Amino acid sequence: MNILVTNDDGILAPGLALLADVCREVGTVTVVAPDREQSGTSHSLTLHRPLRPARRPDGAWQIDGTPTDCVMLAIQALMPEGPDFVFSGVNHGPNMGEDVLYSGTVSAAMEAVTLGVPGIGISFTGNQLETMASYRDLLVQLVRKITSVPSFPEHTLLNVNLPSIPASEVRGIQVTKLGSRYFSDSLTRMKDPWGREIFWIGGGTITWTGTENADHIAVASGFLSVTPLHMDLTNYSLLETVKGWSLE
């Protein structure tokens, strides 16, 4: 089994090393990841300059582009036999609710699905590397279960979030749906050294909403959250309404 491992935190991220190590328990791993931090790049492609893959001494590939670039290059150029699965992560921070629209981690898994390969994004909702490392054995079990699925659903990816507690304290796995979060005060107004106005996006206060089986509630309750995401964003309930519109 061939497995592609990528991320959006960059080639040197501890989470990437952890996930590659986990996946080697299941198959042959190829690592193709950005050469630098690419968080928040979503599903963007690099279109206005060429990409230059560089082979590292450990055999991994680093790409001067986005996570989506990495998956595209890996599947179409760097892995002649192609991957059977693409695992993206382990992200340093959560990817829940609307995060999936901005996340390079999740978008790498999405790109895999668009290219016909099952994609899985994995994120750790805490910030303690030692705690994240405690998930190794649990992740091996999870990767084995995922890769043993006889027929992975089409147009579907899995978004996995690990709670910010040691793996030994995890209460189990919950299948969840996306919650919803609202950022307040996430735009900071500043001045550059020449007195010109600039803005910094980030930080602020997060308010979460959602029902009892939402992803953020599951991880806050000590569960590993698995959210199946579908690539079809069509709102079918509005199709008949829109059909009735007229330009007259």
pLDDT digits (tens, 9 = 90+) for 90-145: 999 999 999 999 999 999 999 999 999 999 999 999 999 999 999 999 999 999 99
Beta bridge partners of 227: 159
In this prediction, residues 27-49 reach a mean pLDDT of: 96
184 has pLDDT over 80: no
Measured between alpha carbons, how far is 197 from 191 in angstroms, rounded to an integer? 5
Backbone angle region of 93, left / alpha / beta, with phi > 0 → left and psi within -120 to 50 → alpha? left
Measured between alpha carbons, how far is 79 from 60 in angstroms, rounded to an integer? 12
Kindly state the tokens that stand for 8.
């959006």
Ranking 20-24, 133-137, 168-172, 242-246 by mean pLDDT, the lowest is 242-246
248 has pLDDT over 90: no
**98 to 47, 118, 183, 216: CA distances (angstroms):** 26, 21, 10, 11
In this prediction, residues 70-92 reach a mean pLDDT of: 97
- Dihedral sign of CA atoms 106, 187, 127, 64 in order: positive
> Does residue 244 or residue 85 have the better pLDDT?
85
Q: How confident is the model at residue 212 (pLDDT cuts 50, 70, 90)?
A: confident
Residues 6+ apart with CB under 8 A from 38: 8, 9, 10, 66, 67, 104
Beta bridge partners of 91: 123
Asked if omega into 90 is within 30° of 0 (cis), the reply is yes
188 has pLDDT over 80: yes
Please tell me the predicted confidence (pLDDT) of residue 205. 80
Taking alpha carbons only, the member of 147, 141, 31 closest to residue 84 is 147
Please tell me the predicted confidence (pLDDT) of residue 110. 98
Measured between alpha carbons, how far is 105 from 123 in angstroms, rounded to an integer? 8
Ranking 102-116, 154-168, 201-215 by mean pLDDT, the lowest is 201-215
Total Cβ atoms within 10 A of residue 216: 23
Please tell me the predicted confidence (pLDDT) of residue 10. 98
Please tell me the predicted confidence (pLDDT) of residue 213. 92
Please tell me the predicted confidence (pLDDT) of residue 75. 98
Q: Which domains does the chain have, with CATH numbers?
A: 2-178+213-230 (3.40.1210.10)
Please tell me the predicted confidence (pLDDT) of residue 204. 78
